[in-house]
A and B are shown apart, each in its own frame.
Chain A
Amino acid sequence: MTAVDERPAESAEIGKARRRKEDQRLITGRTKWTDNIVLPGMLHLAMVRSPFAHAKVTSIDTEAAKGATNVVAVYTAADFPDGMGACANAWPITPEQVTPDHLPMVTEHVACAGEIVAVVVARSAAAARDAAELVDVDYEELPAVLDAKEALKDEVLAHPDKGTNKSAFWRLDSAEAGTGGSVDEAIAKAREDGIVIEREYRQQRLVPAFMEPRSTVVDPTGEQVTMWTSTQVPHILRFLIAATTGMPESKIRVIAPDVGGGFGGKLQTTPEEFITLAVARKLGKPAKYTETRSESLLSAHHGRDQYQMLTLAATKDGTVTGLKVDLLANLGAYVAIVGGGVPVLGAWMFHAIYKFPAYQFNCQTVLTNTTWVDAYRGAGRPEATFAIERLMDELAAEVGVDPLEIREKNWIKHEEFPFVSVSGMTYDSGNYEAATARAKELFGYDELRAEQKQRRQSGDPVQLGIGVSTFTEMCGLAPSRVLGQLSYGAGGWESAAIRMLPTGKVEVITGTSPHGQGHETAWSQIVADRLGVPFDDVEVLHGDTAIAYKGLDTYGSRSLVVGGEAVVRAADKVIEKAKPFAAHLLEASVDDLEFKDGRYAVKGTDKGVGITEVALATFASHNYPDHLEPGIDADATYDPVDFSFPHGTHLCAMEVDTETGASTIRKYVCVDDIGQVINPLIVEGQVHGGLVQGIAQALWEEAVYDDNGTLVTGSFVDYTLPTTADTINFVTDNTTSLATTNTLGTKGVGEAGTIASTPAVVNAIVDAVRDRGIHDIQMPCTPARVWAALQSAGSAEVAQAQPHFHEEAANNADPGTTGEGSGS
């Protein structure tokens, strides 16, 4: 059982809404963004990319480009007979997974538009770009397969040499695993005397669209090769460069300087990084590559792109008896670093906060001639959350009760924690009742329901809908043993070190690699409290494999939960290590000392010494115990014992203009339980940004290819990212049940807003028009799609029964209509 608001005693720094110490340099840009780095004699790269989605390169003529002014070299894959490394897949989800080799530069076979066929090296970026236009490539176009459902047919093959587009099939079945009952039995029974809801939902393809385009600088001079790159994963990149190029790991230094956002999109080892490295080494000169925005939208990995076939079984009163998920995931042209694993993460999330007795998750991944797909904020969890939260609304409509009521009937009660889910996860803490009660209160739920009714009765052209999303997610990736069981290629631990400088300053070295999250501030707050030193005296170092020599980087809401715990443990080690020095200086026994507020005091006296004084004394080392090494620095590596499970209740009110189909957010309230909050301002920032990204999936964003595999949404004119002008003031709050799996009780917040908000928005839109017989609108819910749904809802011929996936049997009593818009 967990209690709400059981916070630890008031502490000086943790919980304080400090402004982020890194923001001034990040916001003004007066910092080391990779593209700001200029080295003497540095050369510039421009990539020549395939305009075709699927093609054979028949010839490349580089002569004209080589002769252009200021061009130093033009290379194709043939110029690197020993290769240039490879973009690795770190998580083969099955031993049989079909994984096409992903080389940085195309040798012959182009598997998606934007693949690199040649690189121009010149003395300026402009000269490189000019000469890239002169490279003459002949292609023999091949038929392209773009859509996952088409790919499944294996008629057109993305990689003809593989003989199939199917990459892997992965299943989790609660009856087989012994974690629950048989889902087929549950569905069969529900068909007889219960409710079966069958739906197909589409998770459209998205572009992570981080603010700073990717950039890489490589300096091959000196003993070690140094690579500065705009990445989330400097440590993983260093390891994979060594593993795939044969360079000794000790000769490679990777630095992620300040990085302008990633959202998962920079959790990759990219062709561009390998090519820049290979060119710099070949020429022995520093080299830089910075992508254009168009290249970024086309060639940095994409996210989502799934079809979800869902069958939910319930009793007539709305108690869920089983959930079956059939997922079809489009991986794009290659299995990216964790591309195959991202949809599989949904396996532990589709049942969300509910007590489903039977569950089955099937995931088929397929290859297509599109940009490779990988983690995008939430990675597998937003997709799952969307599906189940949409389904719970459908069930509520079927039973004829309020969507919150149906959730409450099925969710885990707070006194039931710790709770083992039907997929075998142990939820350590949570309180869905508390978060929901608070959200309802802040939202004015009953008043808005009354207004909705009134607008419906008066036939107002602007209808009101209310959307609910009660989500949970698994954060803190990840216990290394669990990853091992899943054949993931690395562990999930994190590392930290603390150096006590003689001047009283404290250096904290973290293996996480922030790219906008504010680790410098949050880690400083934690260490300031732990060691009793001023916040401003703490310096946080990260992202450089020569300084932060051990780490597994930042993704999956892991940094605070795993990396923060490593920092806590390193600090505690420093306190222990310094104690005998303090005792020596105080001429007291170690047992008589207590450490508080940065001071070792001799119990019962006013004698004491500060930890920073001990640091200075051990630096001088003039006087210390014989049996000790002079030094109190410490490091720690922490392997999490389990995941953490943030949750929250999000409520969204949408106004739908039935004359135009336009949807406008009227009110958005979210109450998240993320455990202990270190810095409420950072949390609010993460939640706001996350909400906008999730709302954007619901309303605005979609990566669209034409039939030839050309990305139509290749610029921000067509890939409609929202700005502040498109959003409203969000109401955010927290309830707290501490995580039990780490010292501070933290759970992770980086992805919460994105995961929760998408279904809240779509549920609200559907709720606004459900009385017209509409039960789904495909994302993004553009005005055109909403309007089309409204048009077709009225006409009989477009009304169709719900899809059947597994049974020839008739569906439950009222099939309803689908008002799915055609979009365009």
Chain B
Amino acid sequence: MIPSSFEYVAPTSVEDALAALAEAGDEGKVLAGGQSLLPVLRMRLNAPEKVIDLGRVEGLRGIREDGDTIVIGAMTTHDEVANSELVKEHAALLAKATAEVADPQIRHRGTLGGAIVHADPAGDLGAPVLALDAEMVIAGPGGERTVAAKDFFTDLFETAVGDGELLTAIRIPKHTGWGAHYEKFVRVAHQWSIVGVAATVKADGGTISEAKIGLTNMGSTPLRAASVEAALAGKSASDVADACSSAADGTNPPSDLNGDADYRRHLATVLTSRAVAAAAAG
């Protein structure tokens, strides 16, 4: 399909990008890896007048350490995140979940920032950043602000990034030494998650001291399985099924061709216990 015509700009700084965005107003759309935006444009579900490509903006791409935090630029590709030694060491959950996104071609184009702002409830990266208590750095006309992941995802495809704002970076507190696993349930390999569970646990000699669990596609936004997290504290890593049985509490999953809401609730409990067991094992 062919998108309707639009103006294309490729600013080289965050300031210029913000200015272009301000100028375009409602008619502007930011382009990152294009893996979600381009299908939307090609199917003519959206027809912005101006597309602002972030590909040449300095400083939005890359991964660095900042004290107890890992800072990932919004334009860092999935492939870079999945293979980063820093991410693997300090935020293993995100590296593992990112490796499960789509296929290699898409992982070489799609970006962490794009995925987070797109906020598809079936997308795989909201749950791990939520579980890891990440913070999102947002730049706007009035300067920079930081929003906690738990406040960031507001609804289906909706986030705290307002009109005229850009997500510039994702800051993740180091979870060094935490075991991690992302359990993604799909019918065919290149699919978005039917349900996904992101689990990271701190285990000490076979006992879980702390667990953080994010759920993918169990509601309109990524969710934390708070009751499971609480139940797991102090549990033996070899006996987690009971503690995970409440994984679907308080969720509101969709019904579609891949399964109805009840089935998803069931899956969430099974997958949570598998994810936690795998995370505890390493």
Q: B4–A130 contact, CB under 8 A?
A: yes
Q: Which residues of chain A have C-beta atoms less than 8 A from B188's C-beta?
A: 700, 720-723, 725-726
Interface residues of B in 227-282 (CB under 8 A from A): 255-260, 263, 266-267, 270-271
Q: A713–B257 contact, CB under 8 A?
A: yes
Q: Which residues of chain B have C-beta atoms less than 8 A from A704's C-beta?
A: 257
Docked Cα-Cα span, A700 to B259, in Å, equals 13
Please tell me if A126 contacts chain B, counting CB pairs below 8 Å. yes
Looking at chain A, what size class is its interface with the partner chain? 20 to 34
B65, chain A: closest CB distance, angstroms: 34
Q: Which residues of chain A have C-beta atoms less than 8 A from B257's C-beta?
A: 702, 704, 712-713, 718, 824
Q: A723–B189 contact, CB under 8 A?
A: yes
Q: B256–A824 contact, CB under 8 A?
A: yes
CB-defined interface of B24-55 with A at 8 Å, one 1/0 digit per residue? 00000000000000000001100000000000
Docked Cα-Cα span, A328 to B189, in Å, equals 34
Docked Cα-Cα span, A126 to B1, in Å, equals 9
**From A294, A712, A725, contact of B1 by CB (8 A):** A294
Please tell me if A425 contacts chain B, counting CB pairs below 8 Å. no
Given contacts A722-B188, A723-B188, A824 and B260 within 8 Å (CB-CB): yes
Q: A725–B189 contact, CB under 8 A?
A: yes
Q: B255–A824 contact, CB under 8 A?
A: yes
Q: Which residues of chain A have C-beta atoms less than 8 A from B258's C-beta?
A: 782, 784
**From A125, A293, A715, A782, contact of B259 by CB (8 A):** A782
Beta-carbon nearest neighbor of A720 in chain B: B188
Given contacts A130-B4, A294-B43, A704-B257, A787 and B263 within 8 Å (CB-CB): yes
Docked Cα-Cα span, A720 to B259, in Å, equals 14
Q: Which residues of chain B have C-beta atoms less than 8 A from A717's C-beta?
A: 192
CB-defined interface of B92-131 with A at 8 Å, one 1/0 digit per residue? 0000000000010000000000000000000000000000
Docked Cα-Cα span, A702 to B190, in Å, equals 17
Number of A-B contacts (CB under 8 A): 67
A328, chain B: closest CB distance, angstroms: 23
**From B187, B266, B270, contact of A720 by CB (8 A):** B187
Interface residues of B in 173-201 (CB under 8 A from A): 185, 187-192, 194
Q: B263–A784 contact, CB under 8 A?
A: yes
Beta-carbon nearest neighbor of B270 in chain A: A659
Beta-carbon nearest neighbor of B190 in chain A: A723
Beta-carbon nearest neighbor of A663 in chain B: B187
Looking at chain B, what size class is its interface with the partner chain? 20 to 34
Docked Cα-Cα span, A419 to B23, in Å, equals 80
Please tell me if A129 contacts chain B, counting CB pairs below 8 Å. yes
Please tell me if A783 contacts chain B, counting CB pairs below 8 Å. yes
Docked Cα-Cα span, A661 to B266, in Å, equals 11
Beta-carbon nearest neighbor of A292 in chain B: B1
Please tell me if A662 contacts chain B, counting CB pairs below 8 Å. yes
Q: A787–B255 contact, CB under 8 A?
A: no
Q: Which residues of chain A have C-beta atoms less than 8 A from B43's C-beta?
A: 294, 715
**From B103, B190, B259, contact of A824 by CB (8 A):** B259
Q: A783–B256 contact, CB under 8 A?
A: no
Q: A700–B263 contact, CB under 8 A?
A: no
Docked Cα-Cα span, A718 to B258, in Å, equals 9
A808, chain B: closest CB distance, angstroms: 36
Q: Which residues of chain B have C-beta atoms less than 8 A from A699's C-beta?
A: 187
CB-defined interface of A163-186 with B at 8 Å, one 1/0 digit per residue? 000000000000000000000000
CB-defined interface of A279-314 with B at 8 Å, one 1/0 digit per residue? 000000000000011100000000000000000000
Given contacts A660-B267, A704-B257, A782-B259, A126 and B185 within 8 Å (CB-CB): no
Please tell me if A416 contacts chain B, counting CB pairs below 8 Å. no
CB-defined interface of A668-711 with B at 8 Å, one 1/0 digit per residue? 00000000000000000000000000000001101010000000
Docked Cα-Cα span, A147 to B230, in Å, equals 49
Q: B187–A782 contact, CB under 8 A?
A: yes
Q: Which residues of chain B have C-beta atoms less than 8 A from A721's C-beta?
A: 188
Please tell me if A788 contacts chain B, counting CB pairs below 8 Å. yes
Beta-carbon nearest neighbor of A701 in chain B: B188
Beta-carbon nearest neighbor of A130 in chain B: B4
Please tell me if A537 contacts chain B, counting CB pairs below 8 Å. no
Beta-carbon nearest neighbor of A787 in chain B: B263
Beta-carbon nearest neighbor of A46 in chain B: B2
CB-defined interface of A499-519 with B at 8 Å, one 1/0 digit per residue? 000000000000000000000
CB-defined interface of A640-672 with B at 8 Å, one 1/0 digit per residue? 000000000000000000011110000000000
Please tell me if A140 contacts chain B, counting CB pairs below 8 Å. no
Q: Which residues of chain A have C-beta atoms less than 8 A from B260's C-beta?
A: 784, 824
Q: Which residues of chain B have C-beta atoms less than 8 A from A133's C-beta?
A: 4, 44
Q: B259–A725 contact, CB under 8 A?
A: no
A814, chain B: closest CB distance, angstroms: 30
Q: A787–B4 contact, CB under 8 A?
A: no
Docked Cα-Cα span, A660 to B197, in Å, equals 14
24 A-B pairs (CB sep. < 8 Å): A129-B1, A130-B4, A293-B1, A659-B270, A660-B267, A660-B270, A660-B271, A700-B188, A704-B257, A713-B257, A718-B257, A720-B187, A722-B189, A723-B103, A723-B189, A725-B188, A725-B189, A783-B185, A783-B187, A784-B258, A787-B263, A788-B263, A824-B255, A824-B260
Chain A residues with a Cβ under 8 A of chain B = 125-126, 129-130, 133, 292-294, 659-662, 699-700, 702, 704, 712-713, 715, 717-718, 720-723, 725-726, 782-784, 787-788, 824
- Using A125-B2, A722-B189 as known contacts, list a sample of 11 further A-B pairs with CB atoms less than 8 Å apart, ordered by residue number in A: A129-B2, A130-B4, A130-B5, A133-B4, A704-B257, A725-B188, A726-B189, A782-B259, A784-B259, A784-B263, A824-B260
Chain B residues with a Cβ under 8 A of chain A = 1-2, 4-5, 43-44, 103, 185, 187-192, 194, 255-260, 263, 266-267, 270-271
- List the 9 closest A-B pairs by CB distance, nearest first: A725-B189, A784-B259, A292-B1, A824-B260, A720-B188, A129-B2, A126-B2, A784-B263, A659-B270
